[in-house]
């Protein structure tokens, strides 16, 4: 039996608060963690794409991991990213996460390079063998030059004891539903990685979501999950529709600028995007403010 009973519900990929020079803003980060936990989330995930893991130094990654575990203080499970271009570096991240006391790892497909399916298989098996922690596969072809985890590959990897779930950010509901159909009987959990498809993933039998919008509107994202779980299908769908405008306007800035600016607007400041990413334009910030006002999150 796979060790994944704690993998469910809403797991925000935490934004990493940084100043204009890219230095970590520790107190802001602790406040953000409290903000999402107070919003009812079921876990937190640090060192993901929304957390600009690719822009952090090794020392910063370790400090982000330490703060996440300290501030969470056992209230919800902690997932840490162990994503890298090379297998060697991913294993280093995995070992660090385990040594610090994380509950699970999330491992994105390698980016920049274009590995074959067998190379991806070997990559994930090597990372899995390096740790006793449960591993959540992560496929996001839009951010990795088209590198994707196929259903066949996911099914092969589901045979590995500590590969227990997959986060699907492909935006392809057919792929999501096939992950669920073909790996669910093997004990794999499937999590929505596209915030507009949380309801759809749950309807197909998914376990929850890893949603960037849950940094900003944790209670609303949790409402989608909790209402669906309770059988209030229309209520879950209504909550999904209320959330969609926020996620669909993340393109008002280079990711994750709109998420950082939205948090500032609602009074949970997380500093600046890491250069070369810049804040949204003043005009686009006003558009964000209007969306957040309509959601009841900003004055």
* Catalytic positions, written as ranges: 138, 167
Residue 229 lies in a domain: yes
For 42-84, the DSSP string reads S-EEESSTTTTGGGS-HHHHHHHHHHHHHHHTTSS-EEEE---
In a domain, 1, yes or no: no
Question: pLDDT digits over 77-104, tens only?
Answer: 999 999 999 999 999 999 999 999 999 9
Report pTM.
0.96
The closest of 58, 134, 64 to 89, measured between CA atoms, is 58
Spatial neighbors of 233 by CB under 8 A, at least 6 apart, are 227
Q: How confident is the model at residue 142 (pLDDT cuts 50, 70, 90)?
A: confident
Q: What is the CATH number of the domain that holds 212?
A: 3.20.20.70
How many angstroms separate the CA atoms of 77 and 232, rounded? 26
- Pair 93, 150: CB distance under 8 Å: no
297 vs 266: CA distance, rounded Å: 6
> In this structure, are residues 179 and 190 in contact, taking their beta carbons and an 8 Å threshold?
yes
Strand ranges across the sheet with 78-81: 9-10, 208-209, 189-192, 163-168, 135-139, 104-108, 78-81, 44-46
In a domain, 144, yes or no: yes
| Pairwise CA distance, residues 1 & 42, whole Å | 21
Tally of domains within the chain: 1
Give the start-end residues of each E strand in the chain.
9-10, 44-46, 78-81, 104-108, 135-139, 163-168, 189-192, 208-209
Confidence check: pLDDT of 145 > 90: no
Cα atoms in the Cβ-side hemisphere of radius 13 Å centred on 180: 19
Each residue's pLDDT tens digit, 207-251: 999 999 999 999 999 999 999 999 999 999 999 999 999 999 999
pLDDT of residue 28: 98
> Exposed, middle or buried, 239 (CB in 10 Å: 0-12/13-18/19+)?
buried
Q: Is 125 part of a structural domain of the chain?
A: yes
Instruction: Give the span between the Cα atoms of 16 and 118, in whole angstroms.
Output: 33
Would 147 be classed as within a structural domain? yes
Residue at 4 is within a domain:
no
Range of the domain at 132: 9-294
Is 42 within a domain?
yes
Residue 51 scores a pLDDT above 70:
yes
Q: What is the mean pLDDT of residues 189-204?
A: 98
Is 210 annotated in some ligand binding site?
yes
pLDDT of 182 above 70: yes
Is residue 15 a contact partner of residue 257, using CB atoms and an 8 Å limit? Answer: no
Beta-strand pair 44-46/78-81: parallel
pLDDT > 80? residue 1: no
Query: Does some domain include residue 31?
Result: yes
Residues 273-297: pLDDT tens digits?
999 999 999 999 999 999 999 999 9
pLDDT(158) > 70: yes
pLDDT of res. 282: 98
């Amino acid at each position: 039996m796979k060790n994944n009973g704690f993998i469910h519900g809403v797991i925000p990929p935490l934004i990493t608060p940084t100043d204009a020079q890219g230095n970590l803003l520790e107190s802001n980060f602790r406040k953000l963690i409290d903000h999402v936990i107070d919003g009812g989330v079921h876990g937190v995930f640090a060192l993901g794409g929304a957390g600009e893991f690719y822009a952090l130094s090794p020392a910063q990654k370790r400090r982000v991991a330490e703060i996440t575990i300290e501030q969470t203080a056992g209230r919800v499970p902690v997932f840490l990213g162990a994503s890298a271009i090379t297998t060697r570096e991913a294993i280093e991240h995995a070992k660090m996460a385990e040594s610090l006391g994380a509950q699970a790892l999330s491992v994105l497909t390698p980016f920049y390079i274009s590995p074959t399916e067998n190379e991806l298989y070997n990559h994930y098996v090597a990372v899995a063998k390096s740790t006793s922690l449960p591993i959540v596969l992560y496929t996001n072809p839009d951010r990795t030059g088209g590198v994707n985890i196929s259903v066949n590959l996911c099914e092969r990897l589901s045979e590995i004891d500590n590969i227990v779930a997959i986060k699907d950010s492909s935006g392809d509901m057919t792929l999501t539903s096939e992950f669920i159909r073909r790996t669910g009987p093997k004990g794999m959990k499937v999590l929505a990685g596209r915030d507009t498809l949380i309801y759809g993933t749950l309807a197909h039998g998914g376990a929850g979501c890893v949603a960037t919008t849950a940094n900003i509107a944790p209670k609303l994202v949790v409402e989608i999950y909790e209402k669906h779980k309770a059988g209030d299908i229309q209520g879950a769908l209504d909550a999904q529709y209320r959330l969609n405008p926020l996620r669909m306007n993340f393109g008002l800035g280079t990711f994750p600028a709109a998420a950082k600016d939205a948090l500032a607007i609602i009074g949970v400041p997380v500093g600046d995007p890491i250069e070369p990413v810049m804040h949204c334009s003043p005009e686009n910030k006003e558009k964000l403010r209007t969306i957040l006002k309509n959601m009841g999150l900003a004055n």
